[in-house]
Amino acid sequence: MSRPEDILPPDLFYNDIESRKYTTSSRIQNVQAEMTDRALELLSLSTPSLILDVGCGSGLSGDILSSGTPGSCGHHNWIGMDISASMLEIALQRDVEGDLLLADIGQGIPFRPGAFDAAISISAVQWLCNAESSEVNPKRRMAQFFEGLYATLRRGGRAVCQFYPRNQEQRDMVSNAAIKAGFGAGILEDYPGTKNSKLYLVLTVGGVEGDITGVVQGMGDVDIMDWRGKGVGRIKKEKKRGGKSWILRKKEQMERQGKIVKPSSKYTGRRRGPTF
């Protein structure tokens, strides 16, 4: 079965007919509600908040944000952005409570820094993995999205992105782009090993409250990725052989081995001028 993102770009695939079909499907309504409830649970918001809905479509997830859920902290205010004009037109016809913005998330998030308390994205991020032409660079678009998302969340804020990667390569592309943008990140999988499997990328923006290890503590099927320690995707730069840091590291090793080492000075590692 072909995936929608294999057929056309989202702004073309979700035309008036497909957008109407998507919005009126009872199955999709139920799935969207379930995934949005799960995203809110993972956000763990203690007070009504301002939430960015990335790839909001016709506002099905926004309906859940506006109404609140049993046991939640109440109604949330939200702003939705989507690349499909047809989807947003239906959202307007449905008179959703959130504000709407027509925008391409692959070009960044056009809001001021720290504007949102939290963000969700339901079934949207995987579209960034595709290239419709040789001029489209998925990794660059993914980086622009996560860098913009990181900037627009307040410190200590969280984001939850539910997405459908085609394979492990796309899963890594998404999670690594989020980590490189500065997020603490963990992937939670519901119903693993089944056709109903759902992946949630849980993201945090600094601060003690935003520590990803605290967000996912006690949860099963969680893969934590972080720049700290030995995080997935961490890149180690090899120290240049012969440079000052390399020389100092070698001296420390020799001292630990009990060897006699000349004391370091401000001239250690400095290149000598030519001799005549």
pLDDT at 231: 44
Q: How far is CA 134 from the centre of its chain?
A: 24
pLDDT at 84: 95
pLDDT at 211 over 70: no
pLDDT at 223: 53
pLDDT at 224: 53
Per-residue pLDDT, averaged over 52-65, amounts to: 95
Residue 121 binned pLDDT confidence (cut-offs 50, 70, 90): very high
CA distances from 44 to 36, 37, 51, 236 (A): 12, 11, 12, 34
Q: In what order do the strands lie in the sheet with 77-82?
A: 99-102, 77-82, 50-54, 116-122, 153-163, 198-204, 184-190, 222-225
More confident of the two residues 258 and 89: 89
Residue 141's CB is within 10 A of a number of other CB atoms, namely 21
Residue 88 binned pLDDT confidence (cut-offs 50, 70, 90): very high
Strands 77-82 and 50-54: parallel
Instruction: List 139's β-bridge partners, or say none.
Output: none
pLDDT at 242: 67
| Residue keyed to tokens 């990667």 | 165
Q: How far is CA 161 from the centre of its chain?
A: 6
Average confidence score pLDDT of the chain: 84
Per-residue pLDDT, averaged over 98-126, amounts to: 95
Instruction: List 122's β-bridge partners, or say none.
Output: 162
Residue 112's CB is within 10 A of a number of other CB atoms, namely 8
Residue 223's CB is within 10 A of a number of other CB atoms, namely 14
C-alpha span between 100 and 81 (Å, rounded): 6
Q: Which of 92-101, 194-203, 225-234 has the lowest mean pLDDT?
A: 225-234
pTM of the entire structure? Answer: 0.75
Residue 233 binned pLDDT confidence (cut-offs 50, 70, 90): very low
Sequence-distant (6+) residues with CB within 8 A of 117 are 45, 49, 50, 51, 153, 154, 157
Indicate the residue type of 220: G
